[in-house]
Structure 1
Amino acid sequence: MDRDQLTEKFRGLTIWKANGQRAPHKPLLVLLALGCLQRKGQQELPYAEIEGPMKQLLEDFGPPRQTYHPEYPFFHLQSDGVWELTTEGGIQLPLDRKLPNAGVFREYGVKGGFPEPILEIFQEDPEAVRVVAELLLGAHFPATYHEDLLQSVGLDLEIAGTAESTTRIRDPKFRREVLLAYGYRCAVCGLKIEMQDKTVAIEAAHIKWHQAGGPDHTANGLALCTLHHKLFDVGAFTLDPDLVLSVSSMAHGNEGFQRWLLDFNGDRIHRPALSELAPQPDFLQWHVREVFKGKGRYELNLN
């Protein structure tokens, strides 16, 4: 196996899909395993050891859910040919292949890791670690997540922009059209800065993420300053179909938090001059369901 073949294997991970729901479980497990391999040379990960970190990753970087199941990717990643499980003493696991059981994993000392051919490439070619990490980041997470996610899994990489492995090509007109629609200012705080006639610190944010199939249409975009783009992507606030902003009950901070976020709670954001360019309710509802964390400090009108 060479690096190109390795890349194709990870590009082809089977990701569970239903009604637009996010399922980043497998990419998160691979990134965590790469971090353990890079930092500690750890080739096999005992489930009991990584259950807690995986649950935290799902809470921090996955969609909000009532319960989190680190055992699912730990078991089902085997089907992609990039992961294998072993037990203490080679004991056969009493498992229903459709219903992995975390208690059984702990009891039998189950460990997971990359198969030998893949492990050899990662050990002999450190660049392959970067390539696979960039592929997974670009394909499954917005750029606002990358630095925090890399730090959380302990990967020391220099990610330079969007990975070439992103599965869909972005429309270069998206940024221009979104910023134009909002008058080159942040839809939340109204910030507008120009340097030598160029707009700076204002970005075109996807409401339904590009990685989740969100289109490069103005109605799926918001012009946000760098700060509010990051806060929107991590679920610190969301919008209802009337474009009223609601801050998450999980978000807290000092006077800066009050000034730059909480003071906007219950306010309508700035709208495009043309109503057809305003965010569509379906995209906003996706953000509420798949990104927004906790409960809103302002009661959302989702009808």
Structure 2
Amino acid sequence: MKTAIEVLDAFENIRRAQRAGIYAPHKPLLILLALARVQHGEPRLVEFTTIDAPLKQLLTEFGPSSAAKSRHYPFWHLATDGHGALWDLSGPREILKRPAGATPSLSELRDQHIKGGFPVDIYEALRHSPGLLQAVATRVLDAYFPATLHADIAATLGLELDGPNEVRDGAPAAADYANANRRRRDPGFRDRVLRAYEYRCCVCGFDLRIGHIPAGLEAAHIQWHHVGGPDIEANGLSLCALHHKLFDLGVFTVDPAEHRVIFSQHAISGGRGMAGELQFHGQPIHAPQHTDLLPAPQFLAWNTQNVFKTPARQVTTAGATPRAAR
């Protein structure tokens, strides 16, 4: 059985699923799904057919718009990460002997009953080393997702992130080790962004204070910090807690040309209609104090491509024909 440090080191060797500005959370979501199965006492290997639907749901809710279409890719390609130390595949020999780049189709994975899961030594370590599974899950969440989404992802999976107090096999040191390589955040980022927008939500204008302290206001990264988004005002928006959550879920984005709030067609407001959140659709954000502090086009483009749930709703300009938002 691997030690806690060895297990965490194996998960550090996941190849980053980000190329040419494309953010793909397929592997981390599959890993979190597999971790939840271990926590729930499920068998080590699972047929792709069994996890196809939950993996599709995860990618639909927490990935880019087209992510679910390629959900079979991580199930196959994770087996080549860390020279095969992180994922086992089981199935017909003629399928498993394919080159790594010859990804089986969705139907092949289903019809051939291909199974996947953690190798025995990692599976046993996750089961028997108290606190290790939670340390791995927390590290994956921190490395690939903004904090606003951690609780939702865990709740969707039924994944319990609070580990036991008793820890063996060096797990406390392992947790520290897992945190050591995190990219440091600039502690001044929040204050600079909130000040730029005069301590109010740039979408709804929320500006509650408790005494002199802003309450419920957060500095949101437009391009997420953990995928290289810098801690600068041009990559930040001052948002209330609600709109920060909606922004990170891809419910709305900001048009780089006119800085209007653009909602997704997937955002349905129920009986509240335009009196609810959709009243802000097509409206310009509350501008920062200086044009140099406006959201930069390259960061908005990243967000639209990787987070926003396309297609966008139409924007009606006063006195003009409705136009499709981009």
TM-score, normalisation: structure 1: 0.92
Cα gap change, 1:83 to 1:285, in 2 (>3 Å): same
What are the residue-to-residue correspondences of 1:153-172 with 2, within 5 Å?
A: 153-158=157-162, 164=179, 167-172=182-187
Partner of 1:195: 210
Partner of 1:206: 221
Write the letter of the residue equivalent to 1:230.
K
CA–CA distance in structure 1, aligned partners of residues 42 and 311 of structure 2: 40
Unpaired segments ≥5 residues, structure 1: none
Partner of 1:20: 21
Write the letter of the residue equivalent to 1:219.
A
Cα gap change, 1:186 to 1:300, in 2 (>3 Å): farther
Superposition deviation, residue 259 in structure 1:
3.3
Partners of 1:46 and 1:112 within 8 A in 2: yes
Partners of 1:186 and 1:192 within 8 A in 2: yes
Cα gap change, 1:166 to 1:61, in 2 (>3 Å): farther
Greater shift, 104-113 or 137-146, is seen at: 104-113
Greater shift, 195-204 or 33-42, is seen at: 33-42
Partner of 1:293: 309
What are the residue-to-residue correspondences of 1:111-122 with 2, within 5 Å?
A: 111-122=115-126
Partner of 2:34: 33
CA–CA distance in structure 1, aligned partners of residues 196 and 27 of structure 2: 37
What are the residue-to-residue correspondences of 1:115-130 with 2, within 5 Å?
A: 115-130=119-134
Partner of 1:274: 290
Write the letter of the residue equivalent to 1:258.
M
SS at 1:164 equivalent: helix
Partners of 1:185 and 1:223 within 8 A in 2: yes
Partner of 2:200: 185
Superposition deviation, residue 196 in structure 1:
2.8
Q: Is 2:266 the partner of 1:265?
A: no
Q: Is 2:17 the partner of 1:44?
A: no
Write the letter of the residue equivalent to 1:236.
V
Deviation sequence 1:152-180 (CA, Å, 0-9, x none): 22211249xxx836631100010010001
The counterpart of 1:228, out of the listed 243, 246, 271, is 243
Deviation sequence 1:186-238 (CA, Å, 0-9, x none): 00111111113211100000001112211000110000000000111111111
Partners of 1:218 and 1:278 within 8 A in 2: yes
TM-score, normalisation: structure 2: 0.86
CA–CA distance in structure 1, aligned partners of residues 41 and 31 of structure 2: 15
Q: Is 2:101 the partner of 1:86?
A: no
SS at 1:203 equivalent: strand
Unpaired segments ≥5 residues, structure 2: 164-177, 316-322
Write the letter of the residue equivalent to 1:21.
I
What is the RMSD of the two structures over their aligned residues, measured on CA atoms?
1.9
Matched residues, number = 297
Partner of 2:319: none
Greater shift, 232-241 or 291-300, is seen at: 291-300
